[in-house]
Structure formats: structure tokens, C-alpha cells
Structure 1
Amino acid sequence: MTPQPPQGGAPPIAAARLWSAGAATAVVTALIAVVGILLARGVFDIPVLAPEGEGTWGDADTMTYALFCALAALVATGLLHLLLASTPRPFEFFGWIIALATVAAAAAPFVAGGETSSKIATAVINLAVGVAIGTLLTSAGRTATRAIR
């Protein structure tokens, strides 16, 4: 079944392709979080998201953080799908939204207490997650709108 273009001239969207890329992006972002925390704790001995005594893997916060990164990728996929279906120049709006959200996520650790090294490590991880979400989903969105033309 070939998707019909929505009213208003928006391009048809290969939703399955977009959402499978969103799921893959969720896995990538969760892995970025886990690898970032492992590097910070294990290699640089920076206590990210856990007290120093928790070791390289830390506590349950590592997996919670990774799951929230994956959730952010899925929310971004939903946002991109909505923008593709309803707005002119959806990739410009998506780029701005993701860029501003990434800046906010990178700045957020500096609002809380803690060691400066922990704040910097968390900011770098958040920045890497935001860049991954923005680049991977933008590419997937472009493919999802071209795939069925």
C-alpha cells in the first residue's frame, strides 16, 4: 500500500523507516551514555552519576540515565514525524529544537552541585547524545521522505 500525501502538500512519510531509525538511534544514545560513563569513571576516575565508591559501573543511575537518553531519542523521533507531517521546512525547525535542547542538556549539570570534573563529564556525554540524536534523525527523516516518492 502506497502512502498518500497528506493535505497541504507535505511529502509522504515512510513512517516505519523513520521509527525504525528512531529505535536504532535510541539504542545508539543509550550506548553513548553507558560508554561515556564507563570512560569517565573507569579511565578518568570521575564520579559521574554515582558516589566515588560505587566503582566503574556505579549504581542503577547508569542504566536509568541510558534509558532516559533512549527515551529522548524516541521523543525526538515523534517530534520529527510531527514536523514532517505538518510544518514547512521541518528540518530547519527540528535542527533548531534539537540544538537548543542539546545546549540546555549540556548546561544543566552546571546548575547542580558537585565536582567540576563530574559536571564537565556529564555535559560532554549530554552533548554527544544530542549531536547523535540530531544527526542520525535528520538523516533518517530525509531518507524517510525520499524513500516513497
Structure 2
Amino acid sequence: MTGYNAPTDPRPSPTVNAGKLWAGGAATAAVAALIAIAGVLLGRGLFNVDVLAPKGQGVWGDASTGWYALGAALAALAATGLIHVLIITTPRPMRFFGWVMALATVVAMLAPFVTEESLGSRVFTAGLNFILGVAIGSLVAGTAKTAIVPVPAHPAPRPYPRPYR
């Protein structure tokens, strides 16, 4: 229809303090990488399960441990990017983010079960992926809540000046 102006949303969109959001995302990436390394050490050293690489690689493992930690850090940065986009484009960004993170965590937990590894290895890796998903989701969501700059819905009405008597 030509000449038709669609009504705009009367509610202004919030803005994002991007520096604060991405600083929190970087900190979350560091935490996620450390959780992955600690989980690998715990699984191999204490429980004697193959988390990522065969036990013959030792408690520290091989390059797979580094890749797993890097993957966790990249997942945290991807979650930060996702919430940034959601905040500026969707009506309920935290709700959508929660759903995406919950479903991504479920997928990460199910992924080890399509391998040929032992049941103990699959269960431990699924548990580690659960912890990583919860940590990344909660830390990024918490940072996002503090990085949202609310916009007032309507400016306060200005009173009319009183006439002098």
C-alpha cells in the first residue's frame, strides 16, 4: 500500500553498553576455558575417565584439551554476540537467550553419546558440558542485565507555569 505509514512501536528500544557487555563476555570466556581445563584434569586425574583423548596422553592430555578449552571460550564469546544482537532486535531478549542457551546446552550434553567412547567417558563429558553451559549462560546473562541501558518510556510532563497574581 503506497503512502501508508506503519505505526511505530511506542516503546523505545534499550541501548547496550557494548564495552561492559564484551568485557563481561571476555571474562566469561576465560572462566569457561578454565572450567574446561579443570574438568579435563578432574576427569582424567581423579576419576580416570577419558574426557577428550585416550588415557595414554596423560592427565593433561594432548592438543585436544587446548581445543576443548578454546571451544568453551569461543562458545562464551558467541553467547555474548547472541545476547548483544537479541538486546537490540527482539522484544524479550533475556527470554530468548535463556531458551537458546538451554537448548544449546542440551545439544552439547547429548553430543558425547553419539561417540564410541565408554559410558563413563560419555557421562562425564556430558556433565562437564552441562556445567559449561550453565556457567556461560548465567555469566553472560548477568553481564547483559547490567549492560542494558534503559530508555525512559515517556518524559515527565512539564507543569504549566503559574500566572503571577
Q: TM-score, normalised by structure 2?
A: 0.83
Separation in 2, partners of 1:86, 1:51 = 44
- Going from structure 1 to structure 2, the CA distance change for 1:56 and 1:142 (only over 3 Å counts) comes to same
- Structure having the higher helix fraction is 1
Larger-Rg structure: 2
The Cα shift of 1:65 comes to 0.5
Say which of 100, 104, 116 aligns to 1:101: 104
Q: Does 2:65 correspond to 1:62? A: yes
CA RMSD of the aligned region, Å? 1.7
Instruction: Give runs of ≥4 in structure 1 deviating > 3 Å.
Output: 146-149
Separation in 1, partners of 2:104, 2:71 = 14
Instruction: Report the AA paired with residue 43 of structure 1.
Output: L
The Cα shift of 1:52 comes to 1.6
Instruction: Report the AA paired with residue 113 of structure 1.
Output: E
Question: Corresponding residue for 2:22?
Answer: 19
Question: Corresponding residue for 1:34?
Answer: 37
Question: Corresponding residue for 1:51?
Answer: 54
Quote the sequence identity (%).
52
The Cα shift of 1:9 comes to 1.9
Where 1:58 maps in the other structure, the secondary structure is: coil
Question: Corresponding residue for 1:138?
Answer: 141
* Aligned pairs, number: 143
The Cα shift of 1:13 comes to 0.5
Say which of 60, 70, 74 aligns to 1:71: 74
Is residue 17–residue 144 contact of structure 1 (8 Å, CA) maintained in 2? yes
Separation in 2, partners of 1:148, 1:16 = 18
